[in-house]
Amino acid sequence: MLVCMRRPIYVVDAFAENIFSGNPAAVCPLEEWLPDDVMQKLAAENNLAETAFIVNESGQYRIRWFTPGAEVALCGHATLASAHIFFSELGHKGLDIAFNSLSGVLQVYKKDNGFYTLDFPLDKPVPFEGEATALLQALGVNSHTVYQTAFDYMVVLPMQKEVEDACPDFKALAKTGGRGVIITAPGNEVDFVSRFFAPQVGIDEDPVTGSAHTALTPYWAERLGKTYLSARQLSKRGGYLECELKNSRVLITGNAVTYMRGEYVTG
């Protein structure tokens, strides 16, 4: 006889000033890990940029993130969403929570204004020394400075309008390797703007990408000569982030709103 298990699931709009903005993530607290292939199927079924699974391992939370196509080593918005659920729905006490992950220990702090601050490892981009012609052609932009981060390529454009107008060929972009591609430029009303494309892992365009800002922040901090920066990701949904460079860490602050509470069923 097939035994079906019902488990809780939440959907949260992260880095969102209001519902229906920011980046939606599914949050799935577990008592024990599901098989990897089941978690991957659930992420594909959810069809959101990220689904986070969290298990309490001997008093310490461990978090894993899955896109519809692959497990990833770091995700900002789904970590923010997970912290929001633990604080607002699951009765977590105190003003901070820590998640063990493939990228080390990630701390999240709840602020007095209800916002959350992610404490993530810095990912300083370095000049890309390979051949970037195919990448730039796939993005549909002219030759510009290209960098490489731990996970992604980063292309710096001269002005916000070029970021807004970019129209990538996603099939071609999916062949360029890495997790994804960041494009960025100085902002008109914030310090910098960006967009993030990741067809390599099943996401044509991510609405708001916290992990990309671990690379964007040190780049713009050095270029602008400041450690506190305001940022906006220019996707259709859009999202606002406040970033701080602090030694070898990047602090990323944003809001989160619960959109849905429900259950999913596994056999």
Give the residue numbers annotated as catalytic, written as ranges: 50
| Residues 1-4: contacts with CB under 8 Å, at least 24 apart | 2/267, 3/267, 4/265, 4/266, 4/267
Instruction: Report d(CA 196, CA 210) in Å as an integer.
Output: 10
In sequence order, the 6+-apart residues with CB closer than 8 A to the CB of 106 are 63, 79, 98, 99, 100, 118, 119, 120
CB 11 within 8 A of CB 25: yes
Q: How do 180-186 and 152-156 pair as beta strands?
A: parallel
Q: Using an 8 Å Cβ cutoff, are 174 and 200 in contact?
A: yes
Burial (Cβ within 10 Å: 0-12, 13-18, ≥19) of residue 199: buried
- For residue 197, what are the contacts with CB-CB under 8 A and spacing of at least 6? 139, 168, 170, 173, 180, 181, 183, 203, 204, 205, 206
Q: Determine phi and psi for 94, rounding to 5 degrees.
A: 90, -175
Question: Phi and psi of 105, rounded to 5°?
Answer: -80, 125
What's the chain's Rg over C-alpha atoms?
Answer: 18
